[in-house]
Each structure stands twice: as C-alpha cells, then as structure tokens.
Structure 1
Amino acid sequence: MNKSREIIIIEDDEDDRYLLEEVFNTLQYPNKRIYFPDGLAALEYLQGPSTAPFIIISDINMPMMDGLELKDKLCTDAKLNLKCIPYLFFSTAISQKMVIDAYSTSAQGFFVKQNSFDQLLDTIRVIVEYWKKCAAPNNF
C-alpha cells in the first residue's frame, strides 16, 4: 500500500462521482483519483503491472461486474492479492446480507454513502486518515 498513490473509486452514478470529487477537492488530499463506472473496467486497470493504488472505494451494485465480484477476483488473483490494496465498499443500498457478503470477501470496510455533503466529507476524511496511519506489509 503506497499512501501517496491514486485512490480508485468505482462508482456507476455520475452524480455520486461528482460529489465524491468535490469532497476530495475540499479535503485537499494530494492523491490522484481515478474513477471507473464498473468493476470490469477497474479490474482491467488494476491488472496493469505497475498499478498499486493507495485504496479502492467501491460501490456494490454496478453493471458489468459488481463490487462483490470484483473483490472476489482481486482475492483470487495472486499478483493483485500481493499488492495489499485496501478495498472498501461504499454504497447507498445496505442490508444485513450485503454487509455479510461484503465482509465474506475479506473487504476492509463497508460504509454507507451519507445524504449531506458534510457527512460525506467526514466519512471520507475518516477513511483516508485511517488508511494513511495503517501499516501494511508492502509499505516498509
């Protein structure tokens, strides 16, 4: 986990992508953000040899390949698994089954998209600050 690398955001809703970018701009994190509309597009990018993002923030319900399918593929791909990329689910839809399914893929978190800008800003700040302080096997 390279803490200065890009933040991957997998989100199919254009309004949510815009709002997330506004939050990141307000927080002034230097990490580049790369957005993907579905898990398949993100997987193709993540399979690049020099790709090692800081964190992945993923919606669950998306076309082509949903967040659960993507996380499962990342866990079963030995090269991607060794990159130790924190994978967090970030969704408006929530149910006990969704949370159980998310954690059964070894996700590192499940967060609910907040309704207000300030709540969303606080959630993103907590996520990024936590992972900036967290040690990982590949950041020594």
Structure 2
Amino acid sequence: MIQKGVIVTIEDDPDDKEIFEAIVRELGIDNEIKWFTETKSAFEFLRDTNDQIFLIFSDINLPGKDGISLKKDIDADPILRKKSIPFVFLSTTGSHMAVEKVYTEMTVQGFFVKGTDYEKMKNTLKTIFNYWLESKHPNSSN
C-alpha cells in the first residue's frame, strides 16, 4: 500500500541509479520513478508537472547546480512550496558541515548517506519509504 505519486530522483551516477531502482522494486514499490541527472531539468519538471509527486530523492554533488541549490530553489518558488513535496537528500557526502547546512538553511525532511553495500542501502531506503508511507503531509493519499 504505497502512497500514490511519482518518485523523483536526481542522481548522476548510473551505478547508484541502477542499485536504487533495483532496491525500490525489491521492496515492492511500483511507483513510477522519474530520473534526472542534473537539477535544471528536475526543477522544470517539478514546477510544470501536474503529476502527484510522492517523494524527491536528491544527491548533493551533481553537475551544474548541486542538490542544495535545487532545494533552495524549490523553497523559494511559491508554486513548488505549495505542492509540499517531501524532499530527502541521499548522498555519499555525509559531512557534518553538509548536514548542518541543509537543516539550518532550508526545509528538508531527511538526510541519508548512501549505503556502502547493497544491504545497507536497502535498509536505508526501506526506512525512508516506511516513514513516508505512515507520515501525514499535504500530499498524503490517505
């Protein structure tokens, strides 16, 4: 019983993309996944789409604008703020400085470090999805 909506993922590493998608499907989540390798096209999609978005996953280190800049742009856009889309960072970067920056400079619903192996990544994603399946927010389907 997954919440309805598209899962938006901004990730430029093809290996991480493949692992993410395999784990999501293994967890039984069949939502459509929209992939973006950079923030400009992700922002344009989020702003222009009429699709319901379930959750956004973003890496921090991306070509062009980074994931932090993307989140700031989303927070500054009245249309996207009104959409109230849950936003989670999923990155290899887990420095204290990066974590502090995202929690003090913007609204973010989570910061997770990519697992160092498949099982760790699977446990991390399972935790994230279980939380958002139960959490109430403006876009909840129940």
TM-score higher than 0.5 here? yes
Identity of aligned residues (%): 35
Which SS does the other structure have where 2:136 is aligned?
coil
Aligned residues: 139
Structure 1 residues not aligned, in runs of 5+: none
CA deviation after TM superposition for structure 1 residue 138, in Å = 4.0
Question: 2 CA distance for matches of 1:3 and 1:41?
Answer: 24
Question: 2 CA distance for matches of 1:39 and 1:105?
Answer: 17
Matched with 1:44 is 44
Matched with 1:107 is 108
CA deviation after TM superposition for structure 1 residue 3, in Å = 2.3
Matched with 1:71 is 71
Structure 2 residues not aligned, in runs of 5+: none
Question: 1 CA distance for matches of 2:19 and 2:116?
Answer: 11
Question: 2 CA distance for matches of 1:137 and 1:53?
Answer: 11
Letter in 2 for 1:45: F
CA deviation after TM superposition for structure 1 residue 25, in Å = 1.5
Give the aligned CA root-mean-square deviation in angstroms: 1.4
Change in 2 beyond 3 A, CA 1:132/1:14: same
Question: 2 CA distance for matches of 1:135 and 1:41?
Answer: 28
Deviations 1:1-53 (A, max 9, x none): x9210111110111110110111111110211111001111001101141331
Matched ranges for 1:1-140 at <5 A: 3-103=3-103, 104-139=105-140
Letter in 1 for 2:18: Y
Question: 2 CA distance for matches of 1:60 and 1:26?
Answer: 25
Question: 2 CA distance for matches of 1:57 and 1:73?
Answer: 15
Letter in 2 for 1:124: L
Question: 2 CA distance for matches of 1:124 and 1:138?
Answer: 20
Which SS does the other structure have where 1:54 is aligned?
strand
Deviations 1:36-92 (A, max 9, x none): 001111001101141331000000010122111110011011110011101000111
Aligned residues of 2:5 and 2:32 also touching (Cα < 8 A): yes
